[in-house]
Amino acid sequence: MTPIRWNSRDVVNHLDEVLGVYGSAMNYSPGLVEGRRGILVAHTRRPEFRAVGTFDAEGRVVGFGYGYRGEPGQWWHEHVRSRLDPAGYRAWLSDCFEVVELHVSPTVQGQGIGEQQIRLLLDGVTRRTTALSTPEGGESRAWKLYRRLGFLDVLRDVVFPGDDRPFAVLGRGLPLDDPTS
């Protein structure tokens, strides 16, 4: 199970499977997941959109990730920006590639797929930083992965509309393989 690069058409062609992985990985209700359908399709038209997908031996999608250049006016960008001081904004969001989603089906987690996906997703990104949000809870596989890759706290205990759980916003310099970033 090795991730491959996807384009926007690939994401749309596998949308039902992508949403299934998203719902199971995030433990979201079917209604909430269905509400993401249009949002995800709209995201494929964002500047510098890139995506990755991972298939199992039977050809089913078991992981995916995507992101794009974060810009003023975008929902997540503005939500996070409103909680940062000007220096924090300049440091983290002013030249940022946002990892919007990065998920692996719970049935195959723990096999290194998430790390392969984020490495492929961020490979070649020319932005200065990358940022993402993930549910709080430092013991999850996602948390351990992000910490191992050098992601730092940008904000903690952020609540996003549509999910009552607190999230952390994490970021790091790019390129990903530069230990000084």
Residue 180 maps to a domain: no
Average pLDDT taken over every residue of the chain: 92
The CA distance from 68 to 25, in Å, is: 21
> What tens digit of pLDDT does each residue of 107-149 get?
998 899 999 999 999 999 999 999 999 998 767 888 889 999 9
Residue 101 maps to a domain: yes
Total number of domains constituting the chain: 1
Residue 9 maps to a domain: yes
What range defines the domain where residue 139 resides?
Answer: 4-173
> What tens digit of pLDDT does each residue of 13-36 get?
999 999 999 999 888 888 888 888
pLDDT given for residue 122 in this prediction: 97
Active-site residue (options: 22, 66, 68, 146): 146
Q: What's the rounded mean pLDDT across residues 74-96?
A: 95
Residue 178 maps to a domain: no
Residue 32 maps to a domain: yes
> What tens digit of pLDDT does each residue of 29-61 get?
888 888 889 999 999 999 999 999 999 999 999
**Rg for the chain (alpha carbons), in Å?**
15
Residue 104 maps to a domain: yes
Secondary structure letter of residue 136 according to DSSP: S
Residue 115 maps to a domain: yes
pLDDT given for residue 178 in this prediction: 66
DSSP 46-111: STT-EEEEEE-TTS-EEEEEEEEE--TTSHHHHHHHTTS-HHHHHHHTTTEEEEEEEEE-GGGTTS
Q: What CATH number corresponds to the domain at position 121?
A: 3.40.630.30
Residue 82 maps to a domain: yes
146 has catalytic annotation: yes
